[in-house]
Amino acid sequence: MNGLTIQIIFLIISYLLGSIPWALIIGKLVKGIDIREHGSKNMGATNAFRVLGFKYGLLVFVLDALKGGLILFIMKHNFFKFDLGDFIIHPLSYGACAFLGHLFPIFAKFKGGKGMATASGIVLFYHPIAFTAGLITFLIVIITTRFVSLSSCVTAIAVLITSFFFKDNYYITLGNITITYFSQVMVFICAFLIIKHIPNFKRIINHTESKINFKAIKDKDVPAFVSEDDEKKDE
């Protein structure tokens, strides 16, 4: 089997791994429910946190992140010592395939999550420094606004901006501007994340978007998300 064939097989495996609907699986295992029928009806870590609680929401996040980063890491370091030949597919391509798998999973009728956790895994396994910058951004925005959707998109944009400062052996040149493959993939990820979160932005503008309730981290009996009306009632 030649190197290109091996890489193509792993691209397909990446998509299939990305298609594993962990939120759906864990929801059925721990509560016997279809998460697509509860909360925001989204099949991602945020809705898992909302419906299943912090512990299982965190588990879904980690598993979804691994979908994006695992094969990327394996192929980046040629973990199995494959003879890949002269044509090397960029490691981020595997992460991008997993990201698409999460958004459009073959195992769940092509209706998946919004991709933040999987994107986080891609950045973490490819460039930990960029991930750290994104994590700091996410914490600042989530603490100040408590909107997960806004925090996710601002974080992706921050990582995109950060990516322009890193060197990469794979790049394209537009005039005097050099755009690395990392930046190209981040543009791809940001575009999908923003499009997927458009309904959330509309709700933020209309003051109907729920905010994360940090008390749910310690107390599983309180709701994970609360509306502005609920907060006003508690005041």
DSSP 224-235: SEE-HHHHHHH-
Say if 217 falls within a structural domain.
yes
Tell whether 234 is covered by a domain.
Answer: no
Residue 235 inside a domain? The answer is no
Query: Measured between alpha carbons, how far is 151 from 75 in angstroms, rounded to an integer?
Result: 30
At 73 the pLDDT is 95
Distances 233 to 93, 192, 209, 227 between C-alpha atoms, Å: 48, 36, 16, 10
Task: Write out the DSSP string of 7-56.
Answer: HHHHHHHHHHHHT--HHHHHHHHHHS--GGGSTT---SHHHHHHHH-HHH
pLDDT tens readout for residues 11-23: 999 999 999 999 9
**With the CA atoms of 43, 135, 146 and 193 taken in that order, what torsion angle do they form, in degrees rounded to the nearest 10?**
-40
The pLDDT, as a whole number, for residue 178 is 80
pLDDT along the chain (235 residues), means of 10: 93 97 96 93 93 93 96 92 90 97 96 96 95 97 96 97 84 76 95 96 94 87 78 53
Full residue range of the structural domain in which residue 170 is found: 3-227
**78, part of any domain:** yes
232 lies in some domain: no
Judge whether 200 lies within some domain.
yes
Question: Is position 65 within any domain?
Answer: yes
Task: Note the pLDDT tens digit of each residue in 177-207.
Answer: 788 999 999 999 999 999 999 999 999 999 9
Q: Are 144 and 153 contacting, i.e. CB atoms less than 8 angstroms apart? A: no
Total domains present in the chain: 1
The whole-model pTM stands at: 0.93
In a domain, 13, yes or no: yes
